[in-house]
Structure 1
Amino acid sequence: MRALILGGTKEARDTAKLLHDRGWHVTSSLAGRVANPALPVGEVRIGGFGGPAGLARWLIHSGVEVIIDATHPYAEKISLSASEASRATGIPLIGLHRKPWQAQPKDRWREVDSVEDAAALVAREYHHIFLSIGRQHLAPFANDPHNLYVIRAVDPPKVALPPRNRVILSRGPFSLESEKKLMVDNQIDVVVSKNSGGEMTYAKIEAARMLGIDVVMVRRPSLAPVTVEVHSPQAVLGVVDKL
């Protein structure tokens, strides 16, 4: 049995191990945006497939029997390609989707539809801004010369940055205490985040809640159609056992 797992998330790595331990031939496909990614067990390929048609050809040539989309919730392009390739080939697509975070009592969320909307809002109303949205989406903030941006990323950003910035290179998970310290030390008055879900980066949301700091939360994009949607690596096993 052969599976293609899309994504470099923790859920993708956990799924690869579970399937590998059951005797599956697993290929994990990573986007290649991180210089030294954490690698899953099994075969690994880096880079794109050439759109939905290229992915469909690769699936047929490789004899893949199931596709598992375990990408980040905001990886719209590859998720759409996987959906179209699944439809074209008839190969089932399991969407392993993290459940989104839900606002809790005392959370001070301000939800927006895009990173561009977030950039416009924080430039108008805040002064010490913590950006925890990944290095691919920093450009909309670059034109604000007035406010300080504390930017956390795994690798150095390659796009234009706001003139006043502090870049912190670090890989999660992050503890609640370290997130609180970062916010206090930098006098953060707003956190900009995507609603990524999961536990790896949730501590920043808890820290903001405890410190009474606003969170500008970028809503998730619409999900591409899948054959079956699940929310955990263990649930993936329950689906593939029925194939």
Structure 2
Amino acid sequence: MRVLILGGTSEARELARIASSERGLDIVSSLAGRVANPRLPVGAVRVGGFGGVEGLRTYLRENAVDAVVDATHPFAAQVSTHAATATRELDIPALHLRRPEWEQRRGDLWTRVPDLTAAVAALPGHDEPVLLTIGRQGVGAFAGCVRHRFVIRSIDAPSAPLPPRYKLLLARGPFTVDEELVLMSRHRIGVLVTKNSGGEQTEAKILAARTAGLPVIMVDRPPLPAGARAVDAVPDAVEWLREVASEHVR
């Protein structure tokens, strides 16, 4: 059974590693190609977009894909929507693998907002500089913020317009809590703006902000497509693949 795994997340890589050792599964992982030097999963890999829903439909048909696991970043809403639409139209079994989101705990000073536009609107009243850890694609939302200084951290340099006053830090995690505390102290960060990506890989900044009493503007996740079947752990995705594979051979 040929399986297409969408996403360059740690969960996608773990799923590819485990599923590649499963008998009867032919695994292909697809990466968007937005990171210059991505961590590659085990097995066959394709890099680049599909060209919207039509392009994905064409790929699924021409490559005889039997099942799709959307393990993209929780904020890759467009890819998830395209995957749900294409698989539904072609009657291909599909699953969305999403790590659990972070939950606000005692000591957290969160302002929850629905999107980046609302995050910009929430900045007044917060001290500067603003630490942005939202990925390079979202930085353009803050380009018009002339009253705040920013520290922008991303793996690759943003291509979108940047705010007038900023310092760019190019770094790839995961980072420790101590490293995040040092960064926040060294740059005298006034507020952290981040997305509720969830997972342990990038949680250190949340723990550090809690320890330091630093306010956080937390961007909520976009919803999954209506009717989507979803799990939040790799073992559950593996079990789903086994179930689909057993139906496939009948």
SS in 1 for 2:81: helix
1:95 corresponds in structure 2 to 96
Who is 2:248 aligned against?
Answer: none
State the Cα deviation string for residues 130-180 of structure 1 (Å, max 9, x = none). Answer: 000000011121122232201000001111111211111111111000000
SS at match of 2:123: helix
| TM-score normalised per structure 1 | 0.96
Structure 2 match to 1:11: 11
Amino acid at match of 1:3: V
Partner residue of 1:205?
206
Offset, 1:125: 3.0
Q: How many residues align structurally?
A: 243
Listed as ranges, the matches of 1:1-243 within 5 Å are 1-23=1-23, 24-225=25-226, 228-243=229-244
The change in CA–CA distance for 1:205 and 1:71 in structure 2 (over 3 A counts) is: same
Instruction: Note the residue ranges of structure 1 that are not aligned, 5 or more in a row.
Output: none
Cα distance in 1, alignment partners of residues 139 and 56 from structure 2: 29
Please provide the CA RMSD for this pair.
1.2
Give the 4+ runs in structure 1 shifted more than 4 A. Answer: none
1:14-33 deviation digits (Å, cap 9, x = unpaired): 00011111142111111111
Instruction: Decide which moves more: 43-52 or 82-91.
Output: 43-52
Q: Distance in 2 between matches of 1:41 and 1:73?
A: 22
Work out whether residues 126 and 191 of structure 2, in 8 Å CA contact, stay in contact via their aligned partners in 1.
no
Quick check: 1:6–1:69 contact (8 Å CA) kept in 2?
yes
Work out whether residues 126 and 190 of structure 2, in 8 Å CA contact, stay in contact via their aligned partners in 1. no
Q: Distance in 1 between matches of 2:143 and 2:180?
A: 24
Normalising by structure 2, we get a TM-score of: 0.94
**Aligned residue identity for 2:72:** T
Q: Secondary structure at the match of 1:125?
A: coil
CA displacement, residues 105-135 of structure 1 (integer Å, 9 cap, x when unaligned): 0100000111011112214533211000000
